Amino acid sequence: MTQKDPDLLLLHAPLLRQGMTTPGAMRDVLYALAPATLAALWFFGLGALLVLVASIVGAVLAEWFFPGSRQRGESLLDASAILTGLLLGLTLPPGLPLWMAFLGGAVGIGLGKVIWGGLGHNLFNPALLGRAFLLATFPIPMTTWAPLRGSDSFFHVHASNLAPPFMQAQIDAISSATPLGLMKFDQEVTPLTNLVFGNTTGSLGETSGLLLVLGGIYLWLRRDLDWRIPVSIVVTVVVFSGCLGLADPVRFPSPLFSVFSGGMLLGAIYMATDPVTSPVTPRGTWIFGVGVGVLVVLIRVFGGLPEGVMYSILLMNAATPLIDRYTQPRIFGR
Amino acid sequence: MNTLRLLRRNFDHGVHPAHHKKQTEDLAIQRVPFVSHYVMPLGQHIGVPSRPTVKAGEQVGRGQLIAEPGGFVSTALHSPVTGTVREIGEFRGIDGQFSPAMQIEADPYATQQLESTTGIDWMSLSLDEFIGQVQQAGIVGMGGAAFPSHVKFSVPDGVKINRLLINGAECEPYLTNDHRLMVERPEDLLLGAEIVRQKLGAEETLIGVERNKPDAIEILRQHIQPGQPVRVVPLQVKYPQGAEKMIIKTVFGREVPAGQFPRDVEVNVNNVGTIVAIADYFLRGLPSIERIVTVAGPGVSYPANLIVPLGTPVREVLRFCGGLKDETREVIMGGPMMGRPIASLDVPVLKGSSGILAFTDAETARPQEYPCIRCGRCLEACPYFLNPSRFARLAKARMFDEMQQYSVMDCVECGCCTFACPSNIPIVLLIRTGKDALRASREKPE
């Protein structure tokens, strides 16, 4: 028998790989967010869908426009730009003019990711950077909360959604206050069941706590999510706001209210856990989570705005390289 | 309390690759017939190469000494076959480099006849004599590292070895050579273990076997005589359970300090194949001239567990197994996690060659490499608790000194990080680049 020599590759060991890929992990987050996103659309109607689409299109176009060192469009395949657009969209008010949402997505990817060198190199969470830009630039539309759809048709679109670019249209939607706003300015407590199921005023994704938690559990089961971060944030917020609540129950909200209101769960489960911008060491993730939790309560209680999740995460993003440096794991046998 | 300890018995981190052992785990060991030529590299163990004691043209018998130890960390070589020494020169080894080796042409009428077939009265040997005999037998670690066994047995004065640990974990996927040895030769394994235990003065022998080999665990337990100080310890199936420091952590719950040896926690660890080789030598006078090799993988026509005389070209072993399938893309010596790819099928089987594995497109197709997103899966995989993602980044930036600060030299290149990486970054390769650069700069301090 003759034996022909095959043309042998010299691939380095290990030859075997587990199945998960980075784009797969990104897609998992999209799947995990799908139920909460659909609930938001149900509560807010078509206008909300348009806001999400505008933000995603802005993010994807920016990624496509600044390809960095890679082939144009190649970096879109990892699905991270879509995820950034979706996450940003979920932090926006449902009545936001679409061009603002588009701009937010583009700035988030452009300034938040591409200029750092693309996926894996950015210091700040791109979606939150986009939102910080929007909040600084358009403070009124960003804090004008359109009410729930109620009995209106699903296809009802807020007039403010369709405002032409750079013409600051007067926000004509009847605005209503968010649970956090009511708490901060009027000491009025929204019932917890509304917070859990999501039929409250607010940004798109900060509504249904239950579905956000379920998505988080899915990610945890898929091992896409470091459970330490959401757990440490939530525990810190509960303990810290609980202590404040003991001191003055009228002025300070109850711990459960703190957890289920505002962008708390969206931020803790889906944004603070962005692996690129959070510490990689186990001890580091605990420090990071506790830091976010403390900042959230401080900003919510003492800050000028009712919400503080965004700034808390961005500030801790900045501390991430340092945390990683000082929390290197103990090495085996040392 | 004891049950709780048993349940928690394990090392931390590690990964769970599919076992892929079904192909060969039930195939009895067969003997590969003699072929026409053998190549015996003089440095097939860790340490100083052996020194030839025969000349080109000389007749040698099977099992005859052909090279003596070149130093203390070195070992003897014996002819795997009866025949004639054709050439002592440079031959290509499995790393693709030329190195000193001896070519032996087999006698066409070669038989299994040994030069010496008498065992050794091991009972009357002192520890030093025993160690000398092991070196003369050319026995090295058969798990793959090929570290001379007599060096392992030589403990400094004042160090006591309390326990002998036999490593039958065989955590590398595809490999079943240790499994088959435990199933087919339990008496020899236990006898070899008893020889080593008595010589080292250890109180107890423990045999660690991963739970995916229930037949081996069962058979070994049946062969232990009542009152014999031997225990079989089933281990969780997890890679790298068979790494020396990991199996010690699992069985004894103790971490061997970095830079130290198992003897520093009063343990001596030996692979199953090594212990059987010791039994073969002391009971029958058979030196280290052959070993069990698993030939498997999707590219092999007829997978098998084989007794292969050392120096047999891989090509001949594969020919015995029906050759490679046309779709073969890669051949690896050793296991798929830590083995070495070979460029040529003409390289010989060595004392450390536990497997010859052939892989096809399905295993060698690589998705594109994505940027590191710092997901931390490699940190959760690394059994030494290192930070592989940082090593990869630093190596790409050629910041090798920084890598040293993060203890890159503690990495044993087990491959867990690379297995776990969703971005398909060749982390082990990058780490190796850094380690090589650091070693080079240490040798030339300019």
Q: How far apart are the C-alpha atoms of A158 and B328, rounded to whole Å? A: 62
Whether omega for the bond prior to residue B262 falls within 30 degrees of 0, making it cis, is no
Alpha helices in A91-187 (DSSP H): 98-112, 126-137, 139-142, 179-186
pLDDT for res B445: 58
Does residue A331 lie in a domain region?
no
Residue B417 and residue B14: Cα distance in Å, rounded?
9
According to DSSP, the residues that pair with B102 across neighbouring strands are B40, B88
Do A108 and A88 touch, CB atoms closer than 8 A? yes
pLDDT of residue B161: 93
ipTM score for this prediction: 0.86
Chain B positions touching A69 (Cβ under 8 A) are none
Q: Is the pLDDT of residue A1 over 50?
A: no
Locate A164 and state its tokens: 């032409």
Domains of chain B, each with CATH number or no CATH: 2-25+118-284 (3.40.50.11540), 377-443 (no CATH)
Q: How far apart are CA B16 and CA B443, in angstroms?
A: 38
CB contact (8 A) between residue A333 and residue B373: no
- What token pair was written down for B336? 């798929």
Three-class secondary structure of residue B183 per DSSP: helix
For B330, which of A8, A20, A280 is closest by C-beta distance? A8
Task: Name the residue among A99, A104, A153 with its Cα closest to residue A132.
Answer: A104
Q: Residue B1's CB: how many other CB atoms inside 10 A?
A: 5
pLDDT digits (tens, 9 = 90+) for A141-155: 888 887 777 667 777
The contact set of A with B (CB < 8 A) is 1, 3-18, 20-25, 78, 118-121, 223-224, 226, 275-276, 278, 280-282, 328-334
CB-CB neighbors (< 8 A) of A226 in chain B: 376
CB contact under 8 A, B255 and A332: yes
Closest-CA distance, B17 to chain A, in angstroms, reads 7
Query: Does residue A1 lie in a domain region?
Result: no
pLDDT at A2: 44
Please tell me what DSSP assigns to residue A122. -
Task: Look at residues A41, A134, A35 and name the one whose alpha carbon lies nearest to residue A94.
Answer: A41
Give the nearest partner residue to A15 out of B315, B363, B379, using CB atoms.
Answer: B363
Contacts of A83 in chain B (CB under 8 A): none
Q: In degrees, to the nearest 5, what angle opens at C-alpha A157 toward C-alphas A102 and A191?
A: 95
DSSP B239: B
DSSP conformational letter for B40: E
Cα distances (angstroms) measured from residue A102 to each of A79, A80, A132, A332, B335 = 18, 16, 14, 49, 52
Q: Which residue in chain B has the smallest CA separation from A25?
A: B422
Average pLDDT over residues A121-150: 88
A17 in any annotated domain: no
Write the pLDDT tens digit of every residue in A37-76.
998 888 888 888 999 999 999 999 999 887 666 677 777 7
Sign of the torsion formed by the C-alpha atoms of B174, B178, B179 and B181: positive
Separation in Å, CA of B31 to nearest CA in chain A:
20
pLDDT attached to residue A199: 67
User: Do B389 and A276 count as a contact with CB atoms less than 8 A apart?
Assistant: no
pLDDT of residue A269: 93
Number of domains within chain A: 1
Distance, CA of A96 to CA of A105 (rounded, Å): 13
pLDDT tens for chain B, residues 1 to 446: 455 555 567 899 999 999 999 999 999 999 999 999 999 999 999 999 999 999 999 999 999 999 999 999 999 999 999 999 999 999 988 888 899 999 999 998 887 777 777 888 899 999 999 999 999 999 999 988 899 999 999 988 888 999 999 999 999 999 999 999 999 999 999 999 999 999 999 999 999 999 999 999 999 999 999 989 999 999 999 999 999 999 999 999 999 999 899 999 999 999 999 999 999 999 999 999 999 999 999 999 999 999 999 999 999 999 999 999 989 999 999 999 999 999 889 999 999 999 999 999 888 888 788 999 999 999 999 999 999 999 999 999 999 999 999 999 999 999 999 999 999 999 999 999 999 999 998 876 55
- What pLDDT score does A68 carry? 65
Q: Which residue in chain A is spatially nearest to B16 when comparing CA positions?
A: A18
Number of residues that this document lists for chain A: 334
Whether A276 sits inside 8 A of B373 (CB atoms) is yes
The whole domain housing A121 covers: 23-326
Among B17, B245, B341, select the one facing A333 at the smallest CB separation. B245
Q: Does pLDDT of A301 surpass 90? A: no
CA-nearest residue to A118 within chain B is: B371
Output the pLDDT for position B1.
41
pLDDT of A78 reads 82
Which contiguous run of DSSP H or E holds residue A210? helix A209-221
B339 and A13 within 8 Å at the Cβ level: the answer is yes
| CB within 8 Å: B370 and A21 | yes
Question: Is there a contact between B336 and A16 if contact means CB atoms under 8 Å apart?
Answer: yes
Q: Omega before A14 cis (within 30°)?
A: yes
Enclosing H/E stretch for A231: helix A228-247
Q: Looking at the domain assignment, is residue A109 inside a domain?
A: yes
Q: Does any domain span residue A267?
A: yes
Residue A265 CA to residue A211 CA, distance in Å, equals 10
State the helix-helix crossing angle for A98-112 and A126-137, rounded to 10 degrees: 130
* All residues at 6 or more sequence positions from A41 whose CB lies less than 8 Å from its CB, including other chains: A48, A49, A52
Check B245 against A332: CB less than 8 A apart: yes
- Per-residue pLDDT tens digits for B289-314: 999 999 999 999 999 999 999 999 99
User: Which residue would you say has higher pLDDT here, A99 or A204?
Assistant: A99
Helix ranges (DSSP H) in B110-238? 127-136, 149-153, 177-184, 186-200, 214-223
For residue A54, which of A93, A10, A106, A98 has the smallest C-alpha distance? A98
Structure tokens belonging to residue B84: 């004639």
Predicted TM-score (pTM) of this structure: 0.90
Alpha carbon distance B301, B308 (integer Å): 18
* Shortest distance, CA B417 to any CA of chain A (angstroms): 9
Residue in B with minimal Cα distance to A326:
B406
Q: Nearest 5 degrees, angle CA B118-CA B201-CA B186? A: 55
Furthest-apart CA atoms within chain B: distance in Å = 66
Interchain CB distance below 8 Å, B17 and A121: no
Residue that has been written with the tokens 């900003």 in this structure: A299
Task: Report yes or no on A27 lying in a domain.
Answer: yes
The pLDDT assigned to B286 comes to 94
CB contact under 8 A, B257 and A9: no
Q: Is residue A286 part of a domain?
A: yes
3-state secondary structure of A314: helix
CA distance B206 to chain A (A): 22
Tell me the chain A residues in contact with residue B391 when contact means C-beta distances shorter than 8 Å.
Answer: none
The answer to whether the CB atoms of A10 and B323 lie below 8 A apart is no
What percentage of residues in chain A have a pLDDT greater than 90? Answer: 44
CATH assignment of the domain containing A91: 1.10.3430
Q: Has residue A89 got a pLDDT over 70?
A: yes
Average pLDDT, chain A: 85
CB contact under 8 A, B329 and A8: yes
Using CB atoms, pick whichever of B345, B364, B377 lies closest to residue A9.
B364
How long is chain B?
Answer: 446
CA-closest candidate to residue A15, choices B374, B386, B433, B173 = B173
Tokens 């081996």 found at: B216
Contact B268, B244 (CB under 8 A): no
Closest CA relative to residue B180, chosen from B103, B76, B276, B93: B276
Nearest chain A Cα distance for residue B153, angstroms: 22
Mean pLDDT of A167-180: 64
Say yes or no for a CB contact (<8 Å) between B341 and A78: no
- Which of B314, B320, B423 to probe the A interface (max A CBs under 10 A)? B423
Sheet with B83-92, strands from edge to edge, namely B37-41, B98-106, B83-92, B59-60
Residue A183 has pLDDT above 80, yes or no: no
Q: Minimal Cα distance from B375: which residue of A?
A: A275
The answer as to whether A66 is a domain residue is: yes
Please tell me the distance from the alpha carbon of residue B300 to that of residue B358, in angstroms, as a whole number: 6
Helix, strand, coil fractions of chain A, as percent rounded to 5? 60, 0, 40
Separation of alpha carbons B131 and B149, rounded Å: 8
Cα-Cα-Cα-Cα dihedral sign, residues A29, A32, A36, A38: positive
Residues of chain B neighbouring A286 (CB-CB closer than 8 A): none
Candidate from A121, A226, A330 with C-beta closest to B376: A226
Nearest-Cα distance to chain B for A214, in Å, is: 21
Instruction: Give yes or no for a contact between B218 and B179, defined as CB atoms under 8 angstroms apart.
Output: no
User: Which residues in chain A are contacts of B421 at CB distance < 8 A?
Assistant: 17
Q: Pick from A217, A213, A174: which is nearest to A196 by CA?
A: A213
How far is residue B25's CA from residue A88's CA, in Å, rounded to a whole number?
53
Q: Which of B21, B337, B385, B404 to mutate to test the interface with A (most CBs of A within 10 A)?
A: B385
Are A257 and A234 contacting, i.e. CB atoms less than 8 angstroms apart? no
Q: Taking residues A191-212, what's their average pLDDT?
A: 75
